[in-house]
Structure formats: C-alpha cells, structure tokens
C-alpha cells in the first residue's frame, strides 16, 4: 500500500469512530504507510472535515453517537462520490453488509480485524477509487477531444468553402482573420497577419481584426448577435460589418516592418524555426521577446504561429485575448496551428493563382507581339541566315579570288607579250569585279534613310524581349528587366532599334545553350541613355573581343559578326556607340549608348 494511490498529495483518510483506541490503532498503521489520518468522533465532525479537507477514504463506524452510519452513508454516496467508504462494525451480519454495499460502501469490515485484511481493504478501495476518478477524467477529456475534433472539422469545412470562393489574396487574408476571431471560430479577441514581401526581404504587416476596447468589443459583438450573422456572413460582409471597428488594429499592424536579416526578432525567429511561440506575461520559453511587440500590441500575452508552405516561409499570425484576458492554453495553440496550416495552403494557392495569371498575361502579350511583328522576326532570321552564308562564302571564295587577282596583276608587270597581257588584264578585272560583288553581299544592310521620331524607349525593349520569349523558355533561360521609371523618350527609328535589340538579345540567347539569365537594364545620365544586355554564357575570349564586329569573324559562343555589323551601323545611324565587354563573373555585356539630344524634335 503506497500513498501514490491518492490522487492528490493533500488528500487525507478520516477515521469516523467514537472510540479513541480504534483511531490510534488505525492512525499508527496508516501513518507508517505515509498517509495523513484525521479523527472524527461524530457524524457532525466528519461533515465539517468533508467541507474543509479533501477526504479520499472514510473508515466509517456503523454506529455513531449522533447518527447511524448507514444514514450518513447514503448522503455521502450521493453528495461526495469521490470519497471512498469502508464500513466498520462490531457485529458480523451479512444482510447489513449487503445493505451497506448497496448504499454505496466500497467494503465492509468487522471488528476485531487482522491488519492484513485491513491493509488489503484499504489498498483495494483506494486503487478502485483512483481508477474510477481517472476513468471519469479520461472520459471527460475524450468527450472534450471529440467535441474539439468535431468543432475543428466543421470550422475547416467552413473555412475551406471561404477559401475556395475567392483566390484574391486580400479576401483570403480577411477570411483567415475572421476564422480566428469569430464566435464560430477560434474565439480569439484579436488577430494580426504579416507576410513576407515578394523579394522575401521584409516581413510586412498586412491586415488585422479586433476591437480596441471593451466598449467597442461589446458594441461589435452585440451588433453581430442582433444581425444574427454566422461565420460565412461575416466573411462575405467583412468590409461592411467590421471595417469601422478594425481601424486601430490595422494601424498597429501597418507599423510592422521587419527585415529578414534581423534574425533575433521574435517574429523572424518563429518563421525561421517554423515553431509557434507563446508569450505569457512578457516572457517566452527560451526565446527573447522583442520589446517592439509589447509597444505595438499593448499586451504582454499573445501567441505567434508561423505560416509556411513546403517551399517557403509565408509570414506569421499573432493572436491574443486583449479584451477578455482569457489565458491561452495548449488546446488554443494546437487549434491555431491546425488552422494556420490550412490558411498557409490558402495563401500559397492565392500566390500560385496570381503567378498563373501573370504567366497567362505574359503569354498573351508574347502572342500579340509575335502576330504584330512577324515580318520583323522574318527579317531577323534573314539577316542571320545571310550572315552564316556570307561567313561561308568568305572562306570559300575570298581567299582564292584575292590570290588570282593579285597574281594576275603581278604578272602584268613582268610579261611583255600583248596576248598574254590581254588575258591577264581580263583575269585581274574579273577578280576585282568578284571582290566588289562580295563586298556588296557583305554590305547586307539596306541603305534606307532612318525614319526617326520621338519614341519611348522602354516599350521597344519590352516588345523585343517578348518576341524572343519562346526561344528563351525553350532553352531554360530566365530574364530580368531593370527599367527604372520614368523611361526616356528618344528621337529614333523604332524599326531599326528593335532590329538592333533583337540581334543583341538573340546573340545572348545563343551564348546560353544550357540555360542561364539574360538581364536587360537601362542607365541614364543627363546626356545619354545606355542599354546593357548581359548574358551568363561562357563569354568571349579576350583575344577575340576586338574581332566580334568583323563581318567575317565567327565563334560558336557569340555567333557571326554579321548581326553585330548591323547593330553597329544602326547605332552609328543614331550617333551612338556600341561596345562588348566580358561580364564581371561570366558571360558578355553588350552596351549601346544613345545620346538624349540626338536631333530631338517634338512629336508630330
């Protein structure tokens, strides 16, 4: 028999018997076992002890001076079910024993008794009591857990309906906050939501819900009760029903702006560790709490729960009971974590939907540009094909023709025979004609005069990139446009500039057969605008850098020089400059600089 049979350490055993000798005997034995034993000589004294102490077991004599033990037994069984009772009597009567057991006694002992029998009876009775109480507690916990599970299931169904009814991020965030604070939801008083920006550099406060005072809370809750608004009604009418009462909390959340580099900040740590943080009375276990949170929330007890998907951290939820001051228990935290998991999926779904819309608009823009600029692409392909053909012709024809012409001219100075001189002259003349024809072939850019007018530069750059979007996606190339607004307007020939940009972008794409990054940026100063097209390819060997604009030069990395010759002619036509440099770490940077005051005329 061990005191561990007791539920609580402050529980006692009471000997209810008018015999002091019996009490001393029982006390001596039970005290050695570690129990606290008290004495009540009458029923009245025992009832007083029941009100003042936690009585685990009563050793109740069947005959008391002021009341029969059987009468007291019936009251005890009805009003004190957690107190076990062993009836003690001096007469052995089976009918009395059965009667006591039917009234609620746990056992029945006859005086005098052996200590072994007494020991067994006390031990068995206390163990039975502990099992009954534990079973009742477990039953209550099971019922509470079942209720909580049903509640969360119903809440998840309602929230899922709300999330699926809209993919707009603001609508999703509003639904999340309503679910946390509504009476049909998790019943927190206030909820705050912060998300990382698109670059994932700053945790920025986005939205909040909750009253700013007890008076406002009472007014809002009473208003919702009068209107009989359920969870779905509140979500659908969020802006109308709650917007006025959320001004203060939204003023608070808008002040949240925490850089991800602040790794010691409580919110950033919760996101990084993907772990909830409970702050109670200004303290959190093993985590320092940022004083900024106390100042902004004006509360020292709240729960922080991270929002995340498998691929990235999304932000945090902060919830508290600012009005009711109800403690935040473990079940509240578990419920909010389950809720946050579903909310994270809804936010991720909204992000993916937004990205999909962007891609669709991007593809539509590409299709429209391709349709409007089919001829421009055909011209670009023609120039590329002509460049490759010309490069082959120069190797196949130019050197032999030069040798033939040079030899013929040399022989005319050494031969005196008129007939031979006649034939040598014909050879030299025809060789000169062929060389001239080759030069005309290489001069493949038409000499049409540029048709210039005032044009915004950025749309030309964007359209040129979009025209080659398909080629970039096919090779696994991503692109970046660093175009700082407002964009400049230049006096130029839009057709020529687009042709120039297409050649430079195409060269960058060809330099990255295994994928990479194409960056197009614009730098501007008071007198000029520079367009920089940077690829992440293998780059050009330094010894070849000066040769790439030669129409007859070719490499596997940066194509033939024919397209670059065209680029150079267009740039010169616009009084600009063109250069190629090796990238800082890899690849090549093509720079086109155009003057701002290039015969600038007002638009007609």
Question: DSSP for 201-270?
Answer: -EEEEEEEE--SSHHHHHHHHHHHHHHT--HHHHHHTHHHHHGGGGHHHHHHHTT-EEETT-TTSHHHHH
**For 219-228, 285-294, 346-355, which range has the lowest pLDDT when averaged over its residues?**
219-228
Q: Is the pLDDT of residue 242 over 60?
A: no
Q: Is the predicted pLDDT of residue 399 greater than 80, yes or no?
A: no
Give the pLDDT confidence score for residue 241 in this predicted structure: 46
Burial class (CB in 10 A: 0-12, 13-18, 19+), 255: exposed
Does the pLDDT at position 451 exceed 60?
yes
Which of 201-215, 361-375, 408-422 shows the lowest mean pLDDT across its residues? 361-375
Overall average pLDDT of the 187-212 stretch: 89
The two beta strands, 528-534 and 516-524, are antiparallel
Strands of 516-524's sheet in order across: 477-482, 516-524, 528-534, 588-595, 577-582
Q: What is the pLDDT of residue 547?
A: 46
Please indicate whether residue 385 or residue 334 has the higher confidence score (pLDDT): 334
Q: Which fold has domain 165-353?
A: Beta-Lactamase (3.30.450)
Percentage of the chain lying above the pLDDT 90 cut: 22
Q: What is the pLDDT of residue 21?
A: 87
Report how far residue 79's alpha carbon sits from residue 242's, in angstroms, rounded to the nearest whole number: 49
Residues 580-591 have a mean pLDDT of 84
CATH of domain 3-136: 3.40.50.2300
> What mean pLDDT, rounded, does the chain reach?
81
Give, in order, the Cα–Cα distances in Å from 80 to each of 47, 72, 73, 83, 581. Answer: 11, 11, 10, 6, 93
The fraction of the chain above a pLDDT of 70, given in percent, is 82
Tens-place pLDDT, residues 43-62: 999 999 999 999 999 999 88
Instruction: Report the range of poorest mean pLDDT among 125-139, 174-188, 492-506.
Output: 174-188
b/e per residue, 417-455, with b = 16+ CB within 10 A? eeeeeeebeebbeebeebbeebeeebebbeeeeeebeeb
* pLDDT number for residue 304: 95
Among 62-66, 92-96, 226-230, the minimum mean pLDDT is found in 226-230
Helices 561-573 and 374-393 sit at what angle, rounded to 10 degrees?
A: 120
Q: What is the mean pLDDT of residues 383-388?
A: 62
Q: Is 533:520 a contact under the CB 8 Å cutoff?
A: yes
Q: What is the pLDDT of residue 247?
A: 76
Tell whether the model's pLDDT for residue 184 goes beyond 90: no
Alpha carbon 198 to chain centroid, angstroms:
10
Considering the domain delimited by 453-595, tell me its CATH architecture. Answer: 2-Layer Sandwich (3.30)
pLDDT band, residue 380 (cuts 50/70/90):
low
d(CA 482, CA 477): 16
The pLDDT assigned to 173 comes to 85
Per mean pLDDT, which range of 231-235, 458-462, 563-567 is the poorest? 231-235
Burial of 174 (0-12, 13-18, 19+ CB in 10 A): buried
Average pLDDT on 71-75 reads: 86
Angle between helices 169-181 and 330-372 (to 10 degrees): 170
Q: Which of 61-65, 313-317, 379-383, 432-436 has the highest mean pLDDT?
A: 313-317
What is the model's pLDDT at position 543? 46
Read off the pLDDT band of 215 (50, 70, 90): confident
Tens of pLDDT along 93-115? 888 888 888 888 989 888 888 88
Q: At what angle do helices 115-164 and 169-181 cross, to 10 degrees?
A: 150
pLDDT at 551: 46
How many whole angstroms separate alpha carbon 463 and alpha carbon 368? 10
Asked whether the predicted pLDDT for residue 75 surpasses 60, the reply is: yes
In whole angstroms, what separates CA 67 from the centre of its chain? 72
Tell me how far apart the alpha carbons of residues 111 and 88 are, in angstroms, rounded to a whole number. 7
pLDDT tens digit sequence for 326-344? 999 998 999 899 889 988 9
> Residue 591 has what pLDDT?
93
The average pLDDT across 155-170 equals 75
User: Which pLDDT score is estimated for 455?
Assistant: 87
Least Cα distance to 196 among 289, 115, 272 occurs for 272
Is the pLDDT at 545 greater than 70, yes or no? no
Range(s) for CATH 3.30.565.10 in the chain? 453-595
Q: Is the pLDDT of residue 553 over 50?
A: no
Contact between 599 and 535 (Cβ < 8 Å): no
pLDDT in the model for residue 566: 76
Contacts for 413 with CB less than 8 Å, ≥ 6 apart: none
Say which residue, 441 or 456, is predicted with more confidence: 456
**Strands 588-595 and 528-534: what pairing?**
antiparallel
Q: What is the mean pLDDT of residues 151-163?
A: 74
- Check whether 395 has a pLDDT greater than 70: no
């Amino acid at each position: 028999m061990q005191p561990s049979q007791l539920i609580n350490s402050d529980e006692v055993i009471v000997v209810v018997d008018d015999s002091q000798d019996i009490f001393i005997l029982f006390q001596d034995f039970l005290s050695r076992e570690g129990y606290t034993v008290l004495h009540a000589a009458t029923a009245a004294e025992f009832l007083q002890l029941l009100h003042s102490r936690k009585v685990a077991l009563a050793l109740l004599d069947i005959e008391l001076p002021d009341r029969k033990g059987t009468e007291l037994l019936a009251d005890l069984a009805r009003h004190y079910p957690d107190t076990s009772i062993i009836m003690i009597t001096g007469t052995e009567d089976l009918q009395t024993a059965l009667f006591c057991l039917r009234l609620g006694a746990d056992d029945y002992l006859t005086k005098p008794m052996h200590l072994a029998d007494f020991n067994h009876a006390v031990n068995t009775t206390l163990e039975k009591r502990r099992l009954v109480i534990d079973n009742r507690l477990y039953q209550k916990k099971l019922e509470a857990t079942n209720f909580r599970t049903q509640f969360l299931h119903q809440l998840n169904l309602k929230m899922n309906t709300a999330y699926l009814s809209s993919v707009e991020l603001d609508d999703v965030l509003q639904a999340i906050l309503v679910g946390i604070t509504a009476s049909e939801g998790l019943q927190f008083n206030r909820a705050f939501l912060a998300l990382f920006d698109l670059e994932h550099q700053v945790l920025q406060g986005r939205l909040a819900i909750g009253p700013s005072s007890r008076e406002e809370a009472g007014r809002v809750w009473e208003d919702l009760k009068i209107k009989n608004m359920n969870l779905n009604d509140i979500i659908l009418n969020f802006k109308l029903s709650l917007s006025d009462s959320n001004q203060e909390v939204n003023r608070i959340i808008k002040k949240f702006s925490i850089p991800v580099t602040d790794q010691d900040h409580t919110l950033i740590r919760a996101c990084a560790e993907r772990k909830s943080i409970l702050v109670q009375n200004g303290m959190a276990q093993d985590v320092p709490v940022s004083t900024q949170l106390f100042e902004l929330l004006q509360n020292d007890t709240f729960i922080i729960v991270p929002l995340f998907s498998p691929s990235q951290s999304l932000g945090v939820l902060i919830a508290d009971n600012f009005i009711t001051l109800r403690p935040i228990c473990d079940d509240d935290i578990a419920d909010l974590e389950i809720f946050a998991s579903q909310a994270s999926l809804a936010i991720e779904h909204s992000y993916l939907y937004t990205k999909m819309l962007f891609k669709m608009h991007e593809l539509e823009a590409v299709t429209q540009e391709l349709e409007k600029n089919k001829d421009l692409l055909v011209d670009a392909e023609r120039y590329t094909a002509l460049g490759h053909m010309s490069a082959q012709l120069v190797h196949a024809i130019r050197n032999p023709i030069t040798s033939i012409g040079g030899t013929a001219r040399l022989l005319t100075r050494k031969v005196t025979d008129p007939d031979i001189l006649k034939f040598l002259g014909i050879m030299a003349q025809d060789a000169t004609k062929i060389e001239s024809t080759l030069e005309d072939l290489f001069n493949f850019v038409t000499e049409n005069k540029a048709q210039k007018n005032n044009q915004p530069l950025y749309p030309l750059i964007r359209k040129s990139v979009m025209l080659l979007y398909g080629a970039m996606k096919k090779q696994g190339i991503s692109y970046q446009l660093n175009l700082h607004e407002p964009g400049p307007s230049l006096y130029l020939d839009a057709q020529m500039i687009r042709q120039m940009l297409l050649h430079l972008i195409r060269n960058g794409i060809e330099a990255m057969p295994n994928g990479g990054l194409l960056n197009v940026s614009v730098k501007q100063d008071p007198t000029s605008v520079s367009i920089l097209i940077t690829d992440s390819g293998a780059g050009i060997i330094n010894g070849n850098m000066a040769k790439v604009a030669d129409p007859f030069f070719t490499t596997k990395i940066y194509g033939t020089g024919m397209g670059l010759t065209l680029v150079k002619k267009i740039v010169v036509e616009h009084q600009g400059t063109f250069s190629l440099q090796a990238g800082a770490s890899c690849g090549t940077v093509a720079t086109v600089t155009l003057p701002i005051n290039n015969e600038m005329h007002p638009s007609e």
